[in-house]
Structure 1
């Protein structure tokens, strides 16, 4: 019976570390994409389509700075996830949630891109939440 329990815990640990790496890779990719999106909005406001009747209207340069900062934080948190830092899992869920909100608010400006990043961040939250705590 001890062998079965030991094998089960090794399998669970392997799966947990795989999901953490999955979340770290997705957070890194999506964070870099948001960072680049922020740079685009700061450098060239006319890259984005403007929607005149959208409730949540923002100055695109200001919005670019928000995307840039959130993208940098996401990349830094993903580095913490690669190092298996506990703080990174907690902050990762929070930053992914903030980035889902940010991308939701920018749907009229870049719809396909925003929806793609929302899906990536949802997978990050899922992967970080299903992993059990390390002992």
Structure 2
């Protein structure tokens, strides 16, 4: 019986660390993507006739702010606090929405980050709090 709880604790800790590292990486990517958009880099594609039409500089600020918050929450996840897990799910969901809405500007990278955010949400939701205690 002790072996099973040790295994579930190790797995829960591993998934939380995975989510923390992935959220920090996603946050760093968001910060870099935000800086590129704020600097009006030519790397972003401008899709005409897209229903969600936004200014690339405005998207840059959104990515930059959400990226910084994601890094801070990711660092807090190393403490395995419940509030950090909840905030991590919220931030990853926000990143998912932001990346969906920015699909016309950088489609391939947006799809990769949407999948990455899905793994973050999964890793934070599958772990029970009692396994972390």
Calculate the TM-score normalised by the size of structure 1: 0.94
Secondary structure at 1:47's aligned position in 2? coil
Q: Distance in 1 between matches of 2:53 and 2:73?
A: 29
Q: Give 1:124 deviation, angstroms.
A: 0.2
User: Counterpart of 1:98?
Assistant: 94
User: Counterpart of 1:86?
Assistant: 82
Q: Distance in 2 between matches of 1:18 and 1:46?
A: 39
User: Counterpart of 1:133?
Assistant: 129
User: Counterpart of 1:7?
Assistant: 3
Secondary structure at 1:46's aligned position in 2? coil
Q: What is the 5 A alignment of 1:64-79?
A: 64-79=60-75
Runs of 5+ unmatched residues, structure 2:
none
User: Counterpart of 1:17?
Assistant: 13
User: Counterpart of 2:56?
Assistant: 60
Asked if 2 retains the 8 angstrom alpha-carbon contact of 1:45 and 1:61, the reply is no
- Root-mean-square deviation (Å): 1.0
Asked if 2 retains the 8 angstrom alpha-carbon contact of 1:42 and 1:64, the reply is yes
Q: Identify which of 98, 104, 110 aligns with 1:108.
A: 104
Q: Distance in 1 between matches of 2:17 and 2:60?
A: 28
Q: Distance in 2 between matches of 1:56 and 1:123?
A: 26
Q: Give 1:115 deviation, angstroms.
A: 0.4
Calculate the TM-score normalised by the size of structure 2: 0.95
User: Counterpart of 2:38?
Assistant: 42
Asked if 2 retains the 8 angstrom alpha-carbon contact of 1:24 and 1:82, the reply is yes
